[in-house]
């Protein structure tokens, strides 16, 4: 009987943790989504055609800066 009680207690504790974690992720998504969508719009607004060298280099610059801000070491080949 004692074991069943402890198992039930552990089960409810874990369920509560999962629900709380999900709520936190939902809130984080709500906060970050507008910024992520704006970054996506900024990137896809630059034409990406290999014959258009000027805009291709704008794409390279945008991606290089974005990855550098995330802590990646970036080099252009």
Measured between alpha carbons, how far is 10 from 4 in angstroms, rounded to an integer? 10
Q: Cβ(15)–Cβ(27) under 8 Å?
A: no
DSSP letter at 70 equals T
- Number of Cβ within a 10 Å radius of residue 68: 11
Stated pTM of the model: 0.60
Is the separation of the CB atoms in 55 and 43 below 8 Å? no
CA distance 28 to 34: 11
**Residue 7 binned pLDDT confidence (cut-offs 50, 70, 90):** low
pLDDT per residue as tens digits for the range 17-74: 566 556 688 888 999 999 999 999 999 999 989 899 999 999 999 999 999 999 999 9
Q: Where are the domains of the chain?
A: 2-69
Which pLDDT score, from 0 to 100, does residue 70 have? 92
């Amino acid at each position: 009987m004692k074991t069943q009680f402890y198992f039930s207690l552990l089960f409810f504790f874990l369920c509560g943790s999962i629900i709380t974690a999900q709520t936190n992720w939902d809130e984080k998504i709500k906060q970050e989504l507008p910024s992520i969508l704006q970054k996506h719009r900024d990137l896809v607004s630059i034409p990406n055609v290999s014959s258009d060298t000027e805009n291709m280099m704008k794409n390279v610059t945008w991606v290089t800066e974005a990855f550098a801000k995330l802590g990646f070491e970036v080099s252009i080949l």
